[in-house]
Structure 1
Amino acid sequence: MGIFNPFTTGDGPEAILVPIAFGIIFLIGIIGNGTLIFTVLFNKVMRNVPNVFIVSLSIGDLLLILVSVPFSATIFTFKGWPYGDFTCRLNYFLETLSLGVSVFTLTALSIDRYMVIVNPMSKHTSKTMAKTVVIAVFIWCLAAILAIPDAVVSHVEDIPLMNISKTLPICFNYPTDVPDYEKYNVCIKFMIYFAIPLVVIAVFYILMARVLIKSGEMMPCEGRGANNHQRQIAARKKVAKVVMSFVLIFAVCWLPRYIYLMWYYFDDSQFNHFWIAFKIIGFCLTFINSCVNPFALYFLSGQFRKYYNRYLFRCIPKVRYTSLEPSSTMHNFNSTVRRASSTTTTIVQSQSMC
């Protein structure tokens, strides 16, 4: 029995459209995440606690884009898997690793934002920064450990083709000889990487909202203190909105994928054109999630936007960027508190993102 050429292409529109979409994802993801990482690492004013988590998030996305996207781009193009067993295992390992880093980092960011809002006067010392780095490393280790089963069970298997005496190599991310493994795996991943983290994030955001509401009720009626307090509340809300935007992007990008997987493994209805299109859209969205966060920061953070303009558009004379001073709303939170107290010389600059 011979081997059918795995590079044989399909005849559907997805065979062309998906690689084009992944090419755009690859280019945008490298530019966006690369610029974000460079901005934080090479500008001291940007090295703060929330940005440590954001850099960790971008490194995971960048790793997925560099290694996994080029191979995953052809899943709907080639009829087989032509890249070998090792690449099959590496591909699914990195997908789960990046997913874990993303969702666990977003959870940590939400908790960090809650702690800052509850106790805004707490100092972020070098010890706190070191603690944040340790948490980020722990998240990577946890995500890697949870991704190991995918690396173990993923494999390339030669599947006999009907009507011809040939086999086609297919990459599976589950053991084909274990009954119902896929069903349990989908349920576990849905709980670990989606449902539970989003519930935790929602709880902390509800607690954040309560603190902000109480802060507004306790605000002085008039005078300089009232203005300072109002600016502080606005700054805290701005930071929380940035983190929430990341969470919403993650939920929107991953929910269609989980809906499809739940339908596929637990519903016996017919596989029709709607579900084929839904599968492809959900698959693409999971990788789009790895390239959109830097651009969300561009639109939501004035400070990041200034650095992005500096690095990405420095060769374009028409693009102007103002002084790279900490003038965004989130930096203003520090300055307003500093102005409110003449005795406070050092305040929580690391609490402000962007």
Structure 2
Amino acid sequence: MIMESAADLGPDCGSLCNKSTVLGGQGPPVLVDAWLVPTFFGLIMLVGLVGNSLVIHVVTKHQQMKTVTNFYIVNLATTDILFLVCCVPFTATLYPLPSWIFGEFMCRLVNYLQQVTAQATCITLSAMSVDRCYVTLYPLQSLRHRTPRMALAISVSIWIGALLLSIPVAVYQRLEDGYWFGPQTYCSEVFPSAHLQRAFIIYSFLAVYLLPLLTITACYAFMLKRMGQPSCTLLQVSRMVVVMVALFLICWGPIQICILLQAFGLRSYVLYKLKIWGHCMSYSNSSVNPVVYAFMGNNFRKAFKQAFPAVFLWREIDHQAPKGEAEMHFLSSES
């Protein structure tokens, strides 16, 4: 699913595809996508790598930050880093270059790792939500069962599950010959039948997007119901629930829906452009996760001040906590 090419346009690409046949020897046109999308991807990668690396640094270097919840945040940050490294550089080259230039082995490996990291990211988000729900519904029992060893076991299980569930991507990914202003090589998924391809895409939509979204929504609905009476804290947590669910929905929804539409035969130049935007949105999620889950949290903020005191010299040391900090503390600290 990494390949964005004329092959994605299908029979509806119209005059642009016809022109490519006539002008086959002149090379493809230079579109705005060729420089704009790689630039945006590069910015996403820079912000995401710096932010997620800082999250991992402050948790591993500060003993008070080594909590169960923060262990999941580190796992999420690690997943986001791998996702950015595996996705961004290779996808960015597809816009200025008309062909896949990295060979069949990298075609299989890159797409497999993309699926693995996307799967692991979504399952980790779900695990975090289930963990917070468990603490809220069963605060006493959670003291016995929520241990770093249990969090490690769950994290390892997430990665094993993601590695196994993503195997079809490696099996059916291969190089194909195509034509776009001359002979080109595309990295594409080639399934034995259209039915099998649609089945896998539907499975991917459910596993990577819909089921995690339903899990996150259900967990926080139970949490809000358990908290019961209206209060300032309840309203703050409600806002954070909306932000978390909306962020997940907005970032991952467009690309998943575009892929689903393509699986059922809808191919057009408009959908091709929407898919580009969808990729940008899904990659952005790995950059904003550190902001949502860590940088705004009270405990993380204190740890950042200890790790990088010079950065915070311009701010007051004992200023009043921002109004929306309570819900971030709820997410990034132990109960």
The whole-number CA distance in structure 2 between the counterparts of 1:260 and 1:162 is: 22
In structure 1, the partner of 2:223 is: 208
Q: 1:178 to 1:332 in 2, by over 3 A?
A: closer
In structure 2, the partner of 1:114 is: 133
How many corresponding residue pairs?
304
Identify the structure with bigger relative contact order (alpha carbons < 8 Å, sequence gap 6+). 2
Higher share in helix: 2
Structure 1 position 50, deviation (Å): 1.1
Structure 1 position 180, deviation (Å): 3.6
Q: In the alignment, is residue 287 of structure 1 matched against residue 303 of structure 2? A: no
In structure 2, the partner of 1:68 is: 87
1:187 paired residue among 189, 197, 202: 202
The whole-number CA distance in structure 1 between the counterparts of 2:74 and 2:198 is: 34
1:99 paired residue among 118, 122, 127: 118
In structure 2, the partner of 1:35 is: 54
The whole-number CA distance in structure 1 between the counterparts of 2:163 and 2:237 is: 29
The whole-number CA distance in structure 2 between the counterparts of 1:103 and 1:206 is: 18
Q: What are the residue-to-residue correspondences of 1:109-258 with 2, within 5 Å?
A: 109-122=128-141, 124=143, 128-157=147-176, 159-161=177-179, 167-172=183-188, 174-175=189-190, 177-213=192-228, 216=229, 234=233, 245-258=243-256
In structure 1, the partner of 2:334 is: 351
Using structure 2 for the length normalisation, give the TM-score. 0.79
- Note the alpha carbon deviations across 1:4-48, whole angstroms, 9 max, x for none: xxxx77511111111101110111011000000111111111111
Q: What are the residue-to-residue correspondences of 1:249-268 with 2, within 5 Å?
A: 249-268=247-266
Q: In the alignment, is residue 18 of structure 1 matched against residue 14 of structure 2? A: no
In structure 2, the partner of 1:47 is: 66
Q: 1:330 to 1:133 in 2, by over 3 A?
A: farther
Q: 1:65 to 1:94 in 2, by over 3 A?
A: same
Counterpart contact for 1:48–1:351, Cα < 8 Å: yes
The whole-number CA distance in structure 1 between the counterparts of 2:165 and 2:329 is: 40
Query: What amino acid is aligned across from residue 194 of structure 1 in structure 2?
Result: Y
Structure 1 position 212, deviation (Å): 0.5
- Structure exhibiting the larger radius of gyration computed from Cα positions: 1
Counterpart contact for 2:124–2:155, Cα < 8 Å: yes
The whole-number CA distance in structure 2 between the counterparts of 1:142 and 1:294 is: 24
- Note the alpha carbon deviations across 1:42-83, whole angstroms, 9 max, x for none: 111111111111111110110122233111112222100011
Tell me the secondary structure at the aligned position of residue 76 of structure 1.
coil
Q: 1:184 to 1:313 in 2, by over 3 A?
A: farther
Per mean C-alpha deviation after superposition, the further-off stretch among 132-141 and 288-297 is 288-297
Query: What amino acid is aligned across from residue 97 of structure 1 in structure 2?
Result: V
Q: In the alignment, is residue 85 of structure 1 matched against residue 85 of structure 2? A: no
The whole-number CA distance in structure 2 between the counterparts of 1:332 and 1:155 is: 46
The whole-number CA distance in structure 2 between the counterparts of 1:317 and 1:9 is: 52
The whole-number CA distance in structure 2 between the counterparts of 1:70 and 1:300 is: 29
Query: What amino acid is aligned across from residue 249 of structure 1 in structure 2?
Result: L
The whole-number CA distance in structure 1 between the counterparts of 2:116 and 2:309 is: 33
- Note the alpha carbon deviations across 1:139-169, whole angstroms, 9 max, x for none: 1111111112212211222x153786xx422
Q: 1:198 to 1:332 in 2, by over 3 A?
A: closer
Q: 1:86 to 1:206 in 2, by over 3 A?
A: same
Query: What amino acid is aligned across from residue 45 of structure 2 in structure 1?
Result: F
Counterpart contact for 2:293–2:328, Cα < 8 Å: no
The whole-number CA distance in structure 2 between the counterparts of 1:237 and 1:49 is: 25
Structure 1, unpaired ranges of 5+: 1-7, 218-229, 334-348
Query: What amino acid is aligned across from residue 80 of structure 2 in structure 1?
Result: D
Structure 2, unpaired ranges of 5+: 1-26, 320-324
Using structure 1 for the length normalisation, give the TM-score. 0.75
